[in-house]
A and B are shown apart, each in its own frame.
Chain A
Amino acid sequence: MKARVYVTLKPGVLDPQGKAIQGSLHSLGFSGVESVRLGKFFEISLAGTDAKSAESELARMCEKLLANTVIEKYRVEILP
């Protein structure tokens, strides 16, 4: 089974990297870019076929390691 995990900064947490990327996009002429937030994306392969238990296991992985929940939130997607 394959899953995708997205870890992104909580709203309100400053993202200096996102700001710098936004500035570079502007200087490349993409003047319509209003904001950029940088996050992390994980592709995870899991043994087993039960999507429900995979989802709860992935949530535990996020809580323990993949995200720092002081500043980040996460979203889990199980691929069909």
Chain B
Amino acid sequence: MSCGVIVFPGSNCDHDALRAVEQLTGRAAKRLWHKDRDLAGVDRVILPGGFSYGDYLRSGALARFSPIMEEVARFAERGGPVLGICNGFQILCEAGLLPGALTRNASLQFACRDVHVRIESTDSTLTRGLAARTVLRLPIAHADGNFTLDSGDSGALAALEDRGQVLLRYCDPGGEVTADSNPNGSLGNIAGLRNARGNVTGLMPHPERALEPLLPSLDGEPLLRAFLS
């Protein structure tokens, strides 16, 4: 297993992701630069959090045209595991590798706190081997995490749910999916998603920031272990 972490100008969770990979696998991850045109032979790719290209125009909109993203799309097409965390999730949506869009939080506030999410589907490279309905405590830190689908397509949410593409939903500590536990207004309390095939995944919470005993939660570990195994 070798994992690459893509660094865009404005990424700020790349070091957290690099550290997480090394901590969980004992092998250093490869830093990939947004201008690279190949993935240096890695067999996992993480798009980390941050504010790529200053989030100009829309979050993730400019990063998706980085030279390396063409190679990420080909890698995903071949079935390679790709994980987008926070800004990485936004980039994957902008690139059309994941469905929907992440828009301004309904509160209009930057949400920076721990939330609870419930595992909805275990049929993905991020959740395989885990138990459905497990509740995880993870930190979020974003202004644009409000998951939205095309309003003209009323069946879009049901189709995503039917195909098991919803991986994580915001919930209360007991695992109940409620309006109060939704930190950003996301449709269906969606916190994480996969593509139809299950090899491309994205989530707004930060599992790579929930791995240290000094921090409030260690719940990032099962997700990242699943992705890196």
Tell me the A residues contacting B by CB distance below 8 Å.
10-14, 16-17, 20, 65-66, 68, 70-71
Contact = CB atoms under 8 A, between A and B. Distances in A.
Interface in B88-117: 93-94, 100-101, 103-108
3 closest A-B pairs by CB = A12-B151, A70-B101, A71-B101
A16 B107 contact: yes
- Main secondary structure on A side of the interface with B: loop
A16 B61 contact: no
Contact of A71 (B57, B103, B106): B103
Nearest to B62: A65
A71 B151 contact: yes
19 contacts: A10-B150, A10-B151, A12-B151, A12-B152, A13-B148, A14-B103, A14-B146, A14-B185, A16-B104, A16-B105, A16-B146, A17-B104, A17-B108, A65-B57, A65-B61, A68-B101, A70-B148, A71-B101, A71-B150
Contacts of B108: 16-17, 20
B133 interface: no
A66 B104 CA distance: 17
A13 B150 CA distance: 8
Contact of B152 (A10, A14, A17, A65): A10
A13 B105 contact: no
Contact of A16 (B58, B100, B185): B185
A12 B149 CA distance: 11
Nearest to A67: B58
Contacts of A11: 151
Bin chain B's interface residue count. Answer: 20 to 34
A70 B150 contact: yes
A68 B104 CA distance: 14
Contacts, number: 43
Contacts of A65: 57, 61, 65
A28 B151 CA distance: 32
Contacts of A20: 108
Contacts of A16: 104-108, 146, 185
Nearest to B184: A16
B19 to A, nearest CB: 32
Given A14-B146, A16-B108, 20 more contacts: A10-B150, A10-B152, A11-B151, A12-B152, A13-B103, A13-B148, A14-B103, A14-B106, A14-B148, A16-B146, A16-B185, A17-B104, A65-B61, A65-B65, A68-B61, A68-B101, A70-B149, A71-B101, A71-B103, A71-B151
B95 to A, nearest CB: 11
A16 B4 CA distance: 36
A68 B146 CA distance: 15
A54 to B, nearest CB: 21
Of B104, B107, B185, the most chain A CB neighbours within 10 A belong to: B104
